[in-house]
Amino acid sequence: MATEINRSGLRLVSTALFAAVLLHRGAEAAELKVCVDKSSPTAPMDAGLAKAVARTEGVRAEVAWFDGGSDADDDGLAPRAFRKLAATQCQLVLGFPLDAQDAAPPQGLHATRPYGRTGFVLVTRKAAAGGLEQLPQGSAVAVTYMTAPNLYFADHPRLTPQVFTSDAASLRALNRGEVAAAMLWRPYVAAHAGTLRFNALHEPHASWNLVALYADAAEPVARGFELAVDQLRQSGRLRTLLRPYADVVDPAVEPAASAAPARLRRDGPRARLIAVAARKGRPEKAPPALYTEQQAEAGERTFQQNCAMCHGPKLEGRAGPALKGPTFASPQAHFSVSDVFKIISLNMPAPAPGTLPHEDYVNIMAFILQQNGYPAGASPLSFDDASKSKVKLVYREVHAE
């Protein structure tokens, strides 16, 4: 009985807070304005959640659609684009994914408490596999170019990676029986995979929270949104709204993300790889010397021949993401040299991933380290060293001599 009284008390407190927010908002507007990315596979879920929240609040929902997939730069919408959306078109931007390990919203914006949990999943045609370790030795596994699951093969050497240029191509390979499984972004699978089976991957950077972004002026709206989501969660309605794209998040164990500089690519899977927040302050220790000057010079030549078309001659990013700077090499992203090297050696160059000689990949890595502020030394970097290095890749400003 005591438990029931306590639960009732909590519901009363929640209801009282909810009513207070509604009274405050009543003087501002009779509608909830949200932005939803129409290119995202979660767009139907986001729009449905907006309408359910508005009904719970007793206001009208106005959905402003934007196309996050129309940016000519494949690096997706920059933080300023999200700030503009939040400042001019809507009060909340729904369906924004943040790495559950450690991520922050775009600079100048805030994030609500997570309301959904999604991420990368292991997809199979027949019996569902609970994890990569359950697949038979030698299994070919499809993975999409430039996504976090490219990292997982190092911990599962029994498996054979098959890198494809898109989720659609990975899924086609699975449907045709060319691979035993695929590691894909769950919302895409939910929207396109039909009867295929999938389970969440319990690997680094595989789990992502869904939040709503908002600007300072929309703070009361964000609090109302959170309280309405709490009401939907308590009634069980939230679970229905999120499935099959995501699972409900318990707010007691998932605090809101802190406001910090960030850049996340818009398209789901590719957004998950090279993340997130710009560093604050310089690392205390001097970076180690992992390569020789000769390797970096050779790496620059190889980079210009094979990589510059997509990533820019100065690694500034074009069709592919930038490969230097505080957004690429961020301490909040928790990527090591080996993480980045595995991505490069498995995914580059785009037309023929993994086809360059080992020495070329090592030299390209040396060039990337040089451009991100790591000094040259007397000992050359080897393919094995680069594949195993746990040195954190964190950008240090490069000063001209």
3-state secondary structure the chain: CHHHHHHHHHHHHHHHHHHHHHHHHHCCCCEEEEEEECCCCCHHHHHHHHHHHHHHHCCEEEEEEECCCCCCCCCCCCHHHHHHHHHHCCCEEEEEEEECCCCCCCCCCEECCCCEEEEEEEEECCCCCCCHHHCCCCCEEEEECCCHHHHHHHHCCCCEEEEECCHHHHHHHHHCCCCCEEEEEHHHHHHHCCCCEEEECCCCCCEEEEEEEECHHHHHHHHHHHHHHHHHHHHCHHHHHHCCCCEECCCCCCCCCCCCCCCCCCCCCHHHCCCCCCCCCCCCCCCCCCECHHHHHHHHHHHHHHCHHHHCCCCCCCCCCCCCCCCCCCHHHCCEHHHHHHHHHHHCCCCCCCCCCHHHHHHHHHHHHHHCCCCECCCCCCHHHHHHCCCECCCCCCCCC
In tens, the pLDDT along 376-389 reads 999 999 999 999 99
Within the chain, which residues score under 50 in pLDDT?
1-28, 71-75, 258-283, 401
Predicted local distance difference test score (pLDDT) of residue 12: 36
Residue intervals of the chain classified under CATH 3.40.190.10 are 2-115+208-271, 119-200
CATH of 2-115+208-271, one of 2.60.40.1840, 3.40.190.10, 3.40.50.80, 2.102.10.10: 3.40.190.10
Residue intervals of the chain classified under CATH 1.10.760.10 are 278-388
Predicted local distance difference test score (pLDDT) of residue 252: 65
Residues 103 and 259 sit within 8 Å (Cβ to Cβ):
no
Predicted local distance difference test score (pLDDT) of residue 79: 62
Residues 205 and 99 sit within 8 Å (Cβ to Cβ):
yes
Residues 292 and 369 sit within 8 Å (Cβ to Cβ):
no
In tens, the pLDDT along 309-363 reads 888 899 987 767 788 888 788 776 678 999 899 889 888 887 777 889 999 999 9
Structure tokens at 340: 């980045």
Predicted local distance difference test score (pLDDT) of residue 384: 95
Query: How long a stretch of residues is the chain?
Result: 401
Specify the CATH superfamily of domain 119-200: Periplasmic binding protein-like II (3.40.190.10)
Q: Does domain 278-388 have CATH number 1.10.760.10?
A: yes
